[in-house]
């Protein structure tokens, strides 16, 4: 028969451990046993020094047992991938010392991602700003009376301003898409019509890159529950990338629609394929990270913000779909969106 205290701590979802005055573990609830990654025999009755090695935590346990003093300590446990971080509250009890573990790993990871994001955005904005302020200074000084230089510098400044505009626009898109991610689209739209209109609107960009832009499988209506604007954005981002990065002059970028059987019912595959240089396999899992670029210089030269595929990923998630990237160096790339038809 478990003790009343064992029954009590069994009902608490956070890991709890009680260490008796003899320094052995007298109680541990399920989450604690799972966290300490052994069987219950391996935790109960064991000396606490075998389970915890952090000096701060051992000192806090000793203070609780010997002086009746409570404490809160931070415990970092190295794990493959990334460290696990807990805030451990040590409370003196009549039965010994109670250890309560609050898992801060995810919260700290989110914090780190937010800091990285702010640092990245600042960096992305600073680069064009530095360029613009440099040119302003030159125009006020050395190039003041040089009309040719003035024209050249103003053109570069306009390009940099356009880059900042695109960045701000993509950041706003990203935050809007993230905010809506849990709201499923209501409307039913014709994906074939959307694909036709995207293909038409990108013809000038394709012509400028001397690339042929083809559309397959869009002759008949393909109705689906989706957000029309977001579908335009997904196809535009993928096709623009295919034209920008994928395609040598004379090559073809193909946008295609096809229905296929998925494990959970019929799906629509929207595929954008190019005949470009392809992407090394090690980059593929990271392409949808914000600001991740295979070739920084090339992306910037092409006016990329590094946010296009992050936006695509969030839109696809909102549609309960999947983004599949297949590519091989020298053999082009295929970006497919698989959307449930039901």
Instruction: Between 6 and 205, name the residue whose CB sits nearer to ligand ADP.
Output: 205
| Candidate ranges 44-52, 202-210, 217-225, 234-242; the one touching ligand ADP (CB under 6 A) | 234-242
Instruction: Between 15 and 246, name the residue whose CB sits nearer to ligand ADP.
Output: 246
254 belongs to the binding site for ligand ADP (CB under 6 A): no
342, 265 in Cβ contact below 8 A?
Answer: yes
**CA 6/CA 12 separation, integer angstroms:** 10
The contact mask relative to ligand ADP for 265-294 (x = CB under 6 A, - = no) is ---------x-x--x-------x-----xx
Count of residues in the chain: 342
- Nearest CA to 107 out of 88, 132, 87, 89 is that of 87
Q: Are strands 322-327 and 333-340 parallel, antiparallel or unpaired?
A: antiparallel
Taking CA atoms, 199 is separated from 176, 313, 321, in Å, by: 25, 21, 22
124 belongs to the binding site for ligand ADP (CB under 6 A): no
Map the footprint of ligand ADP across residues 163-202, applying CB under 6 A. Answer: none
259, 227 in Cβ contact below 8 A?
Answer: no
308 belongs to the binding site for ligand ADP (CB under 6 A): yes
Smallest distance, ligand ADP to C-beta of residue 104, A: 31
Helix (H) or strand (E) holding 45: none
| Candidate ranges 47-55, 61-69, 236-244, 260-268; the one touching ligand ADP (CB under 6 A) | 236-244
- How many chain residues touch ligand ADP (CB under 6 A)? 21
246 belongs to the binding site for ligand ADP (CB under 6 A): yes
Structure-token match 């626009």, residue found: 169
Counting Cα atoms < 13 Å in the Cβ hemisphere of 158 gives 6
241 belongs to the binding site for ligand ADP (CB under 6 A): yes
| Candidate ranges 4-12, 124-132, 145-153, 298-306; the one touching ligand ADP (CB under 6 A) | 298-306
| Candidate ranges 191-199, 224-232, 240-248, 260-268; the one touching ligand ADP (CB under 6 A) | 240-248
| Candidate ranges 75-83, 110-118, 213-221, 301-309; the one touching ligand ADP (CB under 6 A) | 301-309
Counting Cα atoms < 13 Å in the Cβ hemisphere of 153 gives 20
Smallest distance, ligand ADP to C-beta of residue 240, A: 8
306 belongs to the binding site for ligand ADP (CB under 6 A): yes
Instruction: Between 17 and 323, name the residue whose CB sits nearer to ligand ADP.
Output: 323
Instruction: Between 220 and 282, name the residue whose CB sits nearer to ligand ADP.
Output: 282
Smallest distance, ligand ADP to C-beta of residue 82, A: 24
Instruction: Name the token pair of 20.
Output: 């008796």
Instruction: Between 48 and 271, name the residue whose CB sits nearer to ligand ADP.
Output: 271
Region of 23 please: left (phi>0), alpha (psi -120 to 50) or beta.
left
**CA 298/CA 339 separation, integer angstroms:** 31
Phi, psi of 60 (to 5 degrees): -65, -40
Instruction: Name the token pair of 115.
Output: 């800091």
Phi, psi of 64 (to 5 degrees): -70, -45
299 belongs to the binding site for ligand ADP (CB under 6 A): yes
Smallest distance, ligand ADP to C-beta of residue 239, A: 9
Instruction: Annotate 231-284 with DSSP letters as a single string.
Output: HHHHHHHHHHHIIIII--TT-EEEEEEEEEEETTEEEEEEEEE--S----TTTG
Q: Binding residues for ligand ADP, per CB under 6 A?
A: 237, 241-242, 245-246, 274, 276, 279, 287, 293-295, 299, 304-310, 333
């Amino acid at each position: 028969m478990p003790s009343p205290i064992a029954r009590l701590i069994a009902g608490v979802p956070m890991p709890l451990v009680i260490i008796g005055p003899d320094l052995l573990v007298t109680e541990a609830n399920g989450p604690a046993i799972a966290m300490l990654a052994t069987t219950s025999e391996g935790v109960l009755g064991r000396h606490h020094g075998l389970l915890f090695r952090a000096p701060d935590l051992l000192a806090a346990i000793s203070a609780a047992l010997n002086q009746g003093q409570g404490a809160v300590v931070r415990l970092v446990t190295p794990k493959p991938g990334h460290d696990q971080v807990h805030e451990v509250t040590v409370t003196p009890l009549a039965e010994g010392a109670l250890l309560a573990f609050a898992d801060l790993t995810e919260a700290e990871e989110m914090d780190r991602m937010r800091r990285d994001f702010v640092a990245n955005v600042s960096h992305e904005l600073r680069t064009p700003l530095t360029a613009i302020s440099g040119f302003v200074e030159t125009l006020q000084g050395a190039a003041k009376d040089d009309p040719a230089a003035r024209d050249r510098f103003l053109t570069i400044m306009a390009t940099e301003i356009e880059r900042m505009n695109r960045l701000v626009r993509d950041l706003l898109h990203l935050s809007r898409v993230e905010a809506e991610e849990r709201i499923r689209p209501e409307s039913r739209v014709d994906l074939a019509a959307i694909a036709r209109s995207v293909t038409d609107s990108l013809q000038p960009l394709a012509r400028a890159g001397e690339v042929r832009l083809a559309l397959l499988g869009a002759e008949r209506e393909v109705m689906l529950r989706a957000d029309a604007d977001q579908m335009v954005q997904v196809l535009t981002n993928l096709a623009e990338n295919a034209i920008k990065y994928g395609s040598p002059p004379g090559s073809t970028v193909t946008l295609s629609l096809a229905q296929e059987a998925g494990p959970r019912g019929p799906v629509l595959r929207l595929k954008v394929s190019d005949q470009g240089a392809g992407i090394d396999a090690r980059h593929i899992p990271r392409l949808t990270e914000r600001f991740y670029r295979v070739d920084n210089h090339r992306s910037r030269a092409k006016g990329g913000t590094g946010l296009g595929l992050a936006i695509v990923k969030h839109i696809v998630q909102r549609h309960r779909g999947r983004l599949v990237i297949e590519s091989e160096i020298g053999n082009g790339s295929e970006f497919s969106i698989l959307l449930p038809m039901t």
